[in-house]
Structure 1
């Protein structure tokens, strides 16, 4: 039995997409970060960094493993099933390169744009411009990569695409006021967004977790 602890954030939706792509059975326990539920002792026991997502995977004998950090979870699930991550060779490390690129660069920079340009009551124009410029640079890196390859890490759909999609598609919604037309100037990125967004498993995953 696999239990996913998550919320309605870009990181929180990576794992539902992955699970839907893999066709695994799972249950969701919502962790409402707006209410501070990520600081509850029972959640901290499986995610000591008080961040979503996290999973607990329990086998038929009752043995369980808990994993936090979205990149670690994506890698675990890919290796568990033998899907969406090559088992060895250069192709494997290309996928891992781009997975870690998203975790270390794209996600944090877009998150900073969201905070400084949109959510923060106090506006720092220097900080806003810095993070917008860096976010646009990273989107340009994606654009260049996607001008050469169908998917983020090459010819095949992988966990790198799953990691990048929830963050990048958010530009069309919450970050649009800050980033303006920076996405419209990147046709290969738009092509990729449309292709990934058309996948039924991605659509199902992006709709989870369902909250009232």
Structure 2
């Protein structure tokens, strides 16, 4: 059984959804990132960058255990393990991979910054709020244009690219975006949200997440604690 070290964040939900879509048995080990559990030595042996999610698969390649961190790498591993949600054909595979990299390099970092400066930053910096809100809108426009011509983000079939992007868009209001302004993207989003495996995936640990109003949690996530550990 795969062990999933996770918390109910967009990156955590990516892996939860993938496991549900593939029907793989898994056990969730909560890593409360607001309390600093991500800095515990046992977790750092699995995820040296102190970020969730991470997995341990006791039945990895050649039957040997494997541990992985970085959600994109985990999606690729699970796709390879199950032969699902990543095309076998070379051209189609790279179509999916480029959109997966788009999520990892743009959607996650930029929308994360929009969340931070709009919601969590202790000082409201107008320049940062405007910059990242505009970038969020631009990225939504890129996806909307793509989905005007494509059933799914990477082509005609649902894939790990859709799984990677979807959880990040669930908080569109926090990103300064109006989903209704992007009708093709909204149609895609609503369809993905109806998938039973997606619904199960986003419920994993959903009750554990707490509003980020505790100053200690803010310091753990955004303060000097991040930097004292390296």
Q: 1:210 to 1:136 in 2, by over 3 A?
A: closer
Contact 1:38–1:44 at 8 Å: present in 2 too? yes
Which residue in the other structure is 1:80 paired with? Answer: 81
Aligned ranges 1:1-212 → 2 under 5 Å: 1-59=1-59, 63-172=64-173, 175=174, 178-181=175-178, 183-212=179-208
Contact 1:2–1:56 at 8 Å: present in 2 too? yes
Contact 2:137–2:177 at 8 Å: present in 1 too? no
State the alpha-carbon separation in 2 of the partners of residues 210 and 133 from structure 1: 29
Residue aligned with 2:3, SS: strand
Give the 4+ runs in structure 1 shifted more than 6 A: none
Number of equivalent positions: 207
Which residue in the other structure is 2:223 paired with? Answer: none
Contact 2:97–2:161 at 8 Å: present in 1 too? yes
Residue aligned with 1:33, SS: coil
State the alpha-carbon separation in 2 of the partners of residues 123 and 210 from structure 1: 28
Contact 1:5–1:30 at 8 Å: present in 2 too? yes
Instruction: Give the unaligned 5+ runs of structure 2.
Output: 209-230
Query: Could you list the per-position Cα deviations for residues 88-112 of structure 1 after superposition, in whole angstroms to 9, with x for gaps in the alignment?
Result: 3111001000001001001111110
State the alpha-carbon separation in 1 of the partners of residues 30 and 177 from structure 2: 32
Residue aligned with 1:157, SS: coil
Contact 1:31–1:37 at 8 Å: present in 2 too? yes
What's the TM-score once normalised by structure 2's chain length? 0.87
What's the TM-score once normalised by structure 1's chain length? 0.94
Q: 1:42 to 1:162 in 2, by over 3 A?
A: same
User: 114-123 or 16-25: which moved more?
Assistant: 114-123
Residue aligned with 2:5, SS: strand
State the alpha-carbon separation in 2 of the partners of residues 128 and 210 from structure 1: 27
Query: Could you list the per-position Cα deviations for residues 123-150 of structure 1 after superposition, in whole angstroms to 9, with x for gaps in the alignment?
Result: 1101110111111111100000000001
Instruction: Give the unaligned 5+ runs of structure 1.
Output: none
State the alpha-carbon separation in 2 of the partners of residues 7 and 192 from structure 1: 25
